[in-house]
Amino acid sequence: MATADDGKPKYGDMRDYAGPNLFQPHQARKAIRDAHEGKIPPMLGYFAALPSVPVTRWLAPIGYDVVWIDAEHSACGVETMTSVRHSDAGSGSGC
């Protein structure tokens, strides 16, 4: 979690739990735990059961705290998942 000099969260939203880049792990479990314990506001998410680059580009700037992209139960290959994830990161979501 990114912190200011006083040790408190830097942004107070999901950006505090994002990995520093696409190759580093995020802290989603900690975010869920902190939301459950009332340390951060409840999270609003979207479950993308049909991964699609255009849909992800449309959803990314809306401001959801999390977009869960289902790669296990859909006909989504590695190429599609990579494209969806990069389009999400390129749309300014940052996580």
DSSP 50: S
Tell me the pLDDT of the chain (95 aa) as tens digits. Answer: 545 555 566 777 777 887 777 677 778 888 889 888 988 888 888 887 877 888 877 877 787 887 777 777 777 778 887 787 777 665 544 44
Tell me the HSE value of 51 on the side-chain side, using a 13 A CA sphere.
22
Q: Which of 88, 82, 79, 77 is nearest to 54 (CA)?
A: 88
Alpha-carbon gap, residue 18 to 72, rounded angstroms: 22
What residue type is assigned to position 59 of the chain?
Answer: L
